[in-house]
C-alpha cells in the first residue's frame, strides 16, 4: 500500500470513528476536546458534528487554516502535558468526546506522547464519554468499543470511560 493510500484510509477511519462517536454521545451533556489542532481539518469536522457544543482545542503553536482556528476562550495553547492539568478544574468529568491524533509520522514518538497524556485526558472524560484515538491506548477506566463497519482493527480506536479510578 502506498503512503497516500495509507493516509486516505487513516482519514476515512478517523471520520467514521468521529461520526459514530457523535451518534453515541448525542444524548449526553458535555464538552468536546480536540487534542492537537494541526491544520484544523478535524476541528472543522467536529464543529459540523457538534454545532451546539463547546469545543476546546489543545495546541502547542497555531498553524491552522485561518477559518479553522477556535475562539481564544477555547484554545489551550502550550504543551498538552502542561495545559491539560491546568484545565482539569474547569473540565473535570465534563468532556463527552475527546479526540487524540498526535500522528506526526513518527509512530514511536506519537505513541510515547499518547502514553504520557492518556492519564491527563481520562479524568476530563465524563462517565460514558468517548475517546477517539489514532494510537491504541491503555487505561483501567477505559474500555475499547467496536469500530464502525469497514474500519480495520488498529487503524483507529474508540474507547468509552466506564469507571473512575479508585483512590489509593
Convert the pLDDT of each residue in 67-89 to its tens digit. 999 999 999 999 999 999 999 99
11: domain range? Answer: 3-161
Residue 166 maps to a domain: no
Q: What is the DSSP code (8-state) at residue 167?
A: P
The stretch 21-26 carries a mean pLDDT of: 98
The stretch 107-130 carries a mean pLDDT of: 92
Predicted local confidence at residue 43, as pLDDT: 97
Residue 142 maps to a domain: yes
Q: How far is CA 151 from CA 10, 16, 61, 147, in A?
A: 9, 8, 31, 6
Q: How far apart are CA 16 and CA 158, in angstroms?
A: 11
Q: What is the DSSP code (8-state) at residue 127?
A: E
Number of domains in the chain: 1
- Which of 60-64, 105-109, 156-160 is the most confident on average? 156-160
Helix (H) or strand (E) holding 99: strand 95-100
pLDDT, averaged across the chain: 93
Q: What is the CATH number of the domain that holds 80?
A: 3.40.50.150
Predicted local confidence at residue 1, as pLDDT: 85
Q: How far apart are CA 163 and CA 127, in angstroms?
A: 6
Cβ partners under 8 Å of residue 168, min gap 6:
none
Q: How far apart are CA 84 and CA 100, in angstroms?
A: 13
Predicted local confidence at residue 168, as pLDDT: 40
Evaluate whether 143 touches 162 at the Cβ level (below 8 Å): yes
Q: How far apart are CA 143 and CA 145, in angstroms?
A: 6
Distance from CA of residue 79 to its chain's centroid?
Answer: 15
Residue 52 maps to a domain: yes
Amino acid at each position: 500500500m502506498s503512503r497516500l493510500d495509507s493516509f486516505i484510509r487513516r482519514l476515512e477511519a478517523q471520520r467514521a470513528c468521529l461520526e459514530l462517536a457523535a451518534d453515541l454521545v448525542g444524548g449526553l451533556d458535555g464538552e468536546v476536546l480536540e487534542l492537537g489542532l494541526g491544520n484544523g481539518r478535524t476541528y472543522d469536522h467536529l464543529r459540523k458534528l457538534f454545532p451546539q457544543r463547546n469545543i476546546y482545542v489543545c495546541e502547542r503553536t497555531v498553524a491552522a487554516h485561518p477559518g479553522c482556528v477556535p475562539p481564544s476562550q477555547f484554545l489551550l495553547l502550550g504543551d498538552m502535558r502542561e495545559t491539560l492539568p491546568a484545565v482539569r478544574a474547569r473540565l473535570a468529568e465534563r468532556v463527552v468526546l475527546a479526540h487524540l491524533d498526535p500522528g506526526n509520522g513518527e509512530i514511536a514518538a506519537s505513541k510515547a506522547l499518547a502514553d504520557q497524556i492518556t492519564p491527563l485526558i481520562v479524568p476530563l472524560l465524563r462517565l460514558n464519554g468517548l475517546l477517539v484515538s489514532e494510537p491504541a491506548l491503555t487505561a483501567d477506566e477505559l474500555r475499547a468499543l467496536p469500530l464502525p463497519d469497514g474500519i480495520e482493527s488498529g487503524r483507529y480506536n474508540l474507547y468509552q470511560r466506564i469507571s473512575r479510578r479508585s483512590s489509593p
